[in-house]
Structure 1
Amino acid sequence: MPLWVEAPSAVALALMSVLEGYRSAGDTLADPAPYVAVIASFAALGRHRYPRAAAGVALASAALGALLPLLVTLYHFSSRGRLREVWVFLGIVLTAGLPWLAVALTRGQPLSGGRLSNWTNASFGNSVLIGLALALGMWLGSRRRLLEALTDQVEQLRVERELRAEQARLAERSRIAREMHDVLAHRLSLLMLHAGVLQLRGEGMPPATVERIALLRSTAGQALDDLREVLGAMRSEDRPAGTAGAAGAHGAAVAAPALQDLAELLGEARAAGQLIESTVSGDAGSTSTSHRLAVHRLVREALTNARKHAYAAPVAVRVHYGPPATTVEVVNGPAGEAFPTSGGPEELGGARTPGGYGLIGLAERVAALGGHLHAGATGGGWRLAARLPVASLDLSTAAASREAAS
């Protein structure tokens, strides 16, 4: 407690202890009991830094008949879980009555008055007060330790959630790197293939042009090797059929990475029993492969979440391929039936990110393309919307890819 709270409490304790010590001394101030009680009351302020010194003064006060400072000391030690010291203090208090009992018996004084009243007439009331102080201290100590444990647990869960979110972001970055590896490897393989064709038909070309074509082919091959060296470690061990590779000296073209068509994805979801209303506009071929991969991932994740959490709810899918931007919006109605036990999210294509961190991976992918992602509840359902800006470079790259493929 702050000092401005403990200081008035110590003053109030001192006043009550002086009165208790005064009565214990036989209604006289010529006895040290009232003064020791005052010292013990103010010594309780230092019980946190000097607990044993404060306890010693409180024991002296209790031996002289003022028990209140000792109650504060017992409460403090029991709230800190130091029960061994508590039992030692109680033993000292009980033993402290023996000298006063011996003096009273020697002088023939009554056992019901003076300092012996704490151990005779008032023993039951003092025992109740001591028991209440111990019970209150142990309860508050247990409550404080419980709150500390819960706080540590909440902090641990927060750190674990941050680590899982970071793991999801890193996993999405690795997935993007693998996809870009496939895309770039395919483009470089096409470049090497066309350069090789030009070399075979370069009989009528000037020597300088033939030399430049050979340099172009060798540079593309070196770039492809460098790409594999940098990003190849991120790829899975089981490469799917048609993974991009070097055309090399054999001159064989390598197919582009497999990208499931959006209409095929929607068809699989409808076949799984989802009610889907889709609107797809714009020219998908006018956007880059990275944009189409992002659109596919966004729609797949949204359909998987809708199937998992609101299986019977209708889903509206709206996709528009830019320019100036590619937009994706998936809205499902209020939650319906639970996810069927016979199926799983994998039926919609691809594996789910464990722990419900798929949206974090989507946000990472959309941010990498300079876009924005919004996901949240709306009208009892759920809405996922993304906007991916289409740059002029993406348009020229997509156009060049279509020309090369043709």
Structure 2
Amino acid sequence: MSWKETFPWPRYGRWGLVLLLTAGAVQNGAATAGGQYATVRTAAAVLCGAMLLVRRLPWFLAPAAATAVTGVWGWPMLPLLLIALFDLSARRRTAVAVGCSIAVLAANTVAPSAVSLWRPQQYGASLFLLLAIVGGLWMGNRRRLVKALGTEVDHLRVERELREEGARVAERARIAAEMHDVLAHRLSLIALHTGVLATRTDTLPAAVTERLSLLRTASTEALTDLRDILGALHDPRTDTDIPPAPVLRDVRELVEQARAAGQQVDLHTTGRAEQAPAAHRLALYRLVQEGLTNARKHAAGAPVTIRVDYGPPATVVEVTNTPGTPAAHAAPSGYGLVGLRERVRALGGHLNAGPHGAGSWRLAARIPHPAHTEQNGQRP
């Protein structure tokens, strides 16, 4: 385990502390040896300090060296032992740290009185040793707690990303199912009208009758292919308890349902629904539905204002509600906005949702019409 996992301070802070304590040990050792620096105790202090700084050594070497030099030369080497005990306790090796402390105290009972840990205060050194062990235990527990919290945050972040991705996949599946209904309706109309025309062979040229027959066959086969493809792409796991939006229904139906439930809704529309593509109208329905649902859940009783512009050049919707009281026993929020943002993005538009002054909430989306996008040289 490296110094980074043991000490909260930066690398150079630990180096500076160990070097400072090593220099102090050398100075104190020389003072107890009559001022001589070129001694065995000086070399032992330098070697012990180096062991405390080298990260790749076996974990027991530095504590063993610090215990040995402190047991032989007493209190001048005590600061180096305190760092070693702190490291051991932080790494959950408290029993080893206690054993080293007992060994040092026992060895100093026969050490010269000038360097003995039992002089001049009988229990002073024992208190320092105890504080080093307790401090190491506290720091180790704190480090492990921070690491566990960081791991939990990472797990929550990954889980949130997975849920958002699941919401986007579910929304794409919903779009496919809705467009299947729209396209199936239109292709069936084509097949119906071509079939009616093809029966009037007496009034149409043979070439036209043949082309109508081919057109009817092609539209019928397209319906079959569309059903097969969407059936293969359908994933039962993406099903939700919320039914898909009714195909090509007007938002007025949603507003009437909300008003019937007691919700105050003010609707303003510009243009005709037929001006917007079918995919835009489906997205519009889902956006208004989500806006009304959120207003009921998070601002019960607050008036809601809906503005719809079918365009061209773009389909625009804005749902705004004033502050209100959150509904009691409201279901937890899901990932509806994530799915709607995926739907709007797939259509080449953008969606904004968030606070809108004085505690209000605003959901707004703008989806450019395909013809307008092509005229401006943009990709839909």
Range into which the TM-score falls when normalised by the shorter chain = 0.7 to 0.9
Q: 1:280 is matched by which residue type in structure 2?
A: T
Residues 314-362 of structure 1 show CA distances to partners (whole Å, capped at 9, x for unaligned) of 111111111111211111112x222155xx78xxxxxxxx743111111
Q: Distance in 1 between matches of 2:10 and 2:249?
A: 66
Q: Distance in 2 between matches of 1:30 and 1:371?
A: 79
In the other structure, the counterpart of 1:398 is none
In the other structure, the counterpart of 2:325 is 337
Q: 1:70 is matched by which residue type in structure 2?
A: L
Instruction: Decide whether the 8 Å contact of 1:79 with 1:138 is kept in 2.
Output: yes
In the other structure, the counterpart of 1:18 is 26
Which structure 2 residues correspond to residues 7-406 of structure 1 after superposition, within 5 A? Answer: 7-22=15-30, 32-46=40-54, 49-64=57-72, 65=74, 66-97=77-108, 100=110, 113-115=113-115, 117-119=116-118, 121-233=120-232, 234=234, 258-334=247-323, 336-340=324-328, 355-379=333-357, 380-392=359-371
SS in 2 for 1:51: coil
Q: Distance in 2 between matches of 1:268 and 1:30?
A: 94
Residues 69-117 of structure 1 show CA distances to partners (whole Å, capped at 9, x for unaligned) of 111110111112222322332243244346x37xxxxxxxxx8x234x3
Q: TM-score, normalised by structure 1?
A: 0.79
Q: Distance in 1 between matches of 2:120 and 2:44?
A: 23
Deviates more, 1:87-96 or 1:276-285: 87-96
Q: 2:114 is matched by which residue type in structure 1?
A: G
Q: Distance in 1 between matches of 2:173 and 2:103?
A: 70
Deviates more, 1:72-81 or 1:51-60: 51-60
SS in 1 for 2:269: strand
Deviation at 1:41, TM superposition (A): 2.7
Q: Distance in 2 between matches of 1:2 and 1:48?
A: 18
Question: Structure 1 114/304 Cα, relative in aligned 2: closer, same or farther at 3 Å?
Answer: same
Q: Distance in 2 between matches of 1:85 and 1:236?
A: 58
SS in 2 for 1:386: strand
SS in 2 for 1:376: strand
Q: CA RMSD in A?
A: 2.8
Instruction: Decide whether the 8 Å contact of 1:61 with 1:69 is kept in 2.
Output: no
Q: Distance in 2 between matches of 1:209 and 1:30?
A: 114
SS in 1 for 2:123: helix
SS in 2 for 1:81: coil
Instruction: For structure 2, list consecutive stretches of 5 or more residues without a partner in the other structure.
Output: 1-8, 238-245, 374-380
Q: Distance in 1 between matches of 2:146 and 2:14?
A: 23
Query: In the comparison of the two structures, how many residue pairs are matched?
Result: 353
Residues 32-64 of structure 1 show CA distances to partners (whole Å, capped at 9, x for unaligned) of 434423332333212563432222221221112
SS in 1 for 2:300: coil
Question: Structure 1 118/270 Cα, relative in aligned 2: closer, same or farther at 3 Å?
Answer: same
SS in 2 for 1:152: helix
